[in-house]
Amino acid sequence: MQILPTRDEQDVHILLLDPAGTAHSRVYGLLCSEGMDVVCRQSAEAMLEVLEASCRANQVDMVICCTLQKGMSAGQFVRRAKATPAMQDVPVLMLTEDVSSRVELDCFESGADAYLSSSAHSDLLLLRIRTLLHLADEKRYLHPQWHMRRARVVIVRAPEDETLLEFWNDPKVVDYDDSTEETGLGELLWRDGHTVTSVTRSSDLLSGGWLTGPDGPDCIVLDDMQDNEADLAFCRQLDQRRRALREQGGTPFRILGIVQAERFRGESCVAFLEAGLEDLVPSDMTPVVLALRIRAMVRRRRENEAFHQREMERQQSALALEAAQAQASLADALARANRDLAQTNEELVQTQARLVQTAKMASLGELVAGIAHEINNPLAFTLGHADTIERCLHWMEKKVQDEGDQDRIKRAEARLAAMKTGLGRIRDLVVRLRRFSRLEEGQWRMVDVSEAIETGLALVSHRLGGSIIVESRLEAPQQLICQETLFHQAVMNLIANAADALNDVRLIGDVRYDGRIRIATRLYDDVYEITVSDNGPGIEDSVRPRIFDPFFTTKAQGEGTGLGLSIVHGIVQAHGGTIDVTDACEIEADCPMDGGQAGCGRGAHFVIRLPVHKTAEGWAVREPKRRKATGGSEPA
């Protein structure tokens, strides 16, 4: 957007027509006090002379005309002033004593830009003057090429007539009063600010780019035109050049022809109009009237040129706007494509992470199944022999009578019972390992929630140690149709993370309270909720938005892969649920998890919410994504 520069009022040149003169003019004193350059005259005739000189020197920015009591009227003066092309963009303000609608109509019909009461307040007068100056500056600044360029008039003489130079360029200059002598046409056009060129007619004038170039003429005056084929052919060729200029998108020049007065009045001159001339005048027309005709043609041509330029600027602005909109649309499309690509990459990373974890769990399952099988055989053999030894010891206890031998047998029975207890724990662990090895992602079945949580706790018991207490409050139904990975992987990972957080606090020496982990379930409004909370240090707000991102971890290098919570998030999403995390102490303000001990940490409170519905077999997790992908129905 263009910004109009601020004009210094000391550089403003104002012409003031006021019968009161400089000594008694209120307007003159007011403008001079504001630092403006003011030239004041009492008569319209004297002001016209100053106006012509000021226009030639380009030193007039505004004309102010007060009511005139004698001689030329204010309206006549404005008409004479506005007839000068250099005054087309100079604002004229009329100050009148009568502000009736009739006076307003006469004011604007004369060509004035505004009118105001002569008795108006000085502030209002200055405001009106400054507004007119600003509008004129804005007009000239936005379209300087049209308001600064001088109009170009080319007079084409007949080849054999050299005496007509005196007709075009008469050096005599007279006043506009009752003088009988008239000023030459060239002088009149030059006074108007036009550039006047006189050339001899020839076929060479029709060649070259001077007719259609940026410095081409605004009006061509053809003198002494004869009704013969040569002159008509010249007019037709000139008109062809003009039509070519129009076809190229330019504004064509105007053509005016001068014919002998006798021929003009006595014979038909329609042949010249058919040949392309726009206007015809007789040779005895006075220079003043002829100059007015040329002024009108030049003004119409320049107005058309300005309109054409504004239309081109409008079209360019429209094209620029369309280009900007297209560029913005392209930028939006690229941004959407980048977002989609980033989302796709993120999904690929998460999918890869899940595949890696699935492969790892599959390999771990195979390994666990093999180890469990290898342990189970010698374990069964050992338990079988332990029963045999127990029976032998009971038999020996009945046969032996010596008290010392009896004591030895009882000690052996106690040791054997302890050994069987240890073997039983090994057998239970093998059962859990074999159950864990049979997990298949995507397989939905009835899961015992309590047993699944106990299995997970058994697998992470080495992380719990003896300093972390695990509490369970399972209020929801114990049987749930879902993927077993929901509890064996998701809940187990949450418990493992809580244990790691509590162990980190213990390792840095903060033993003000015992570590506690609470696992809870509840059912409400067809939502199966699973929560895992701890009373550890909690999760910082700065990293909370990223904890479910793949490969993001706050653990030391080599201690964590950053996949645990990401896998939990994926498993919960596969069940159509959500997972959120808050501070545990916000949920339980009195911190009951640590028995009311002082020094409770913020803690982490993970909440898994699963949409469920009642089926014939019991409560089942809804599977919207699975049903949409396979076209199956809900579990029966």
Identify whether the C-beta of residue 468 lies closer than 8 Å to the C-beta of residue 496: no
Highest mean pLDDT among 301-305, 379-383, 444-448: 444-448
Tell me the pTM. Answer: 0.38
Mean pLDDT in residue range 324-350: 87
For residue 164, pLDDT over 70 is answered with no
Q: Is residue 368 a contact partner of residue 388, using CB atoms and an 8 Å limit?
A: no
**Euclidean distance between CA atoms 384 and 423, whole angstroms:** 11
CA distance 482 to 444: 5
Give percent of the chain above pLDDT 90.
Answer: 8
| Highest mean pLDDT pick, 4-13, 47-56, 557-566, 595-604 | 47-56
Q: Where are the domains of the chain?
A: 9-147, 152-285, 442-630
Looking up tokens 């189970």, which residue turns up?
Answer: 376
The most confident of the ranges 160-164, 460-464, 578-582 is 578-582
| Helix/strand/coil for 468 | strand
pLDDT of amino acid 458: 80
- Determine contact, residues 1/8, Cβ cutoff 8 Å: no
* Residue 208 or residue 311, greater confidence: 311
pLDDT of residue 624: 54
DSSP letter at 6? P
> pLDDT higher for 500 or 101?
500
Confidence of residue 2 (pLDDT cuts 50, 70, 90): very low
DSSP string, 185-251: HHHHHHHTT-EEEEEE--GGGGSSSTTTSTT--SEEEEEEE-SSHHHHHHHHHHHHHHHHHHHTT-P
Read off the pLDDT of residues 167-184 as tens digits, 9 standing for 90 and up: 444 433 333 333 334 567
Q: How many percent of the chain have pLDDT more than 70?
A: 79
- Find where tokens 């045999």 sit: 388
Whole-Å CA distances, 612 to 244, 524, 573, 631: 82, 10, 14, 19
The highest-level CATH class for domain 442-630 is: alpha beta
Range with the largest mean pLDDT of 136-140, 303-307, 576-580: 576-580
Q: Which of 108-112, 214-218, 258-262, 601-605 has the lowest mean pLDDT?
A: 108-112
Mean pLDDT of the chain: 77
Q: With 90 as the cut, is the pLDDT of residue 375 above it?
A: no
What's the whole-number mean pLDDT along residues 38-62? Answer: 85
**Which of 3.30.565.10, 3.90.950.10, 3.30.1370.60, 3.40.50.2300 is the CATH number of 9-147?**
3.40.50.2300
Q: Give yes or no for residue 371 having a pLDDT over 60.
A: yes
Cα–Cα dist 55/87, whole Å: 7
CA proximity to 580, closest of 545, 632, 538, 624: 545
Helix, strand, coil shares of the chain as percentages rounded to 5?
A: 50, 15, 30
Burial of 394 (0-12, 13-18, 19+ CB in 10 A): exposed
Tell which wins on pLDDT, 491 or 442: 491
Select 152-285's CATH number: 3.40.50.2300, 3.20.20.80, 1.10.390.10, 3.90.1150.10.
Answer: 3.40.50.2300
Interatomic CA distance for residues 99 and 110, integer angstroms:
15
Equal CATH topology for 9-147 and 152-285: yes
pLDDT score of 155 more than 60: yes
Residue 633 clears pLDDT 80, i.e. is over it: no
For residue range 62-114, what is the model confidence (pLDDT) as tens digits?
Answer: 999 987 767 777 888 888 887 776 777 788 888 888 767 676 677 777 778 88
As a whole number of angstroms, the distance between CA 141 and CA 10 comes to 19
